[in-house]
Amino acid sequence: MTDVTLIFADLAGAAPLVLVLLGAAVFAASRVSLDPRRMIRVLIAIGILLFVRLAFPLVIPLFLNDVIGAREVQVRILLNALVYSVPYSIALGLLFWTIFDVGRARSAEELHGPEAVG
């Protein structure tokens, strides 16, 4: 198998994850009007995850070979892990921030409407 074949096999193997992320993006986009601040953060995190999963297999080999010129296997493995983990950490941080966002507690009126309070 050539390098291009390996890259396409890697991308094909990512199809289930890409489909789930696309479905989550559609769901989040449909709910933006309900809670725009949270849904925008979710959409940004999903965009980062999609970008990393689709673009990095194409870019990282060029980055490691041509830009950095890493020849030692240990250095290549370390750099590869760092380059992948930083954007994943940012995306997961955004998702966790959205999940555990207690800075803006909602009132019963905001959650269920004014008739639920009385």
pTM, entire model = 0.76
Interval 21-49: pLDDT, tens: 999 999 999 999 988 999 999 999 999 99
Classify 100 as helix, strand or coil: coil
pLDDT at 1: 45
Interval 58-94: pLDDT, tens: 888 777 777 776 678 788 888 888 989 999 999 999 9
Nearest to 73, CA basis, from 62, 85, 64: 64
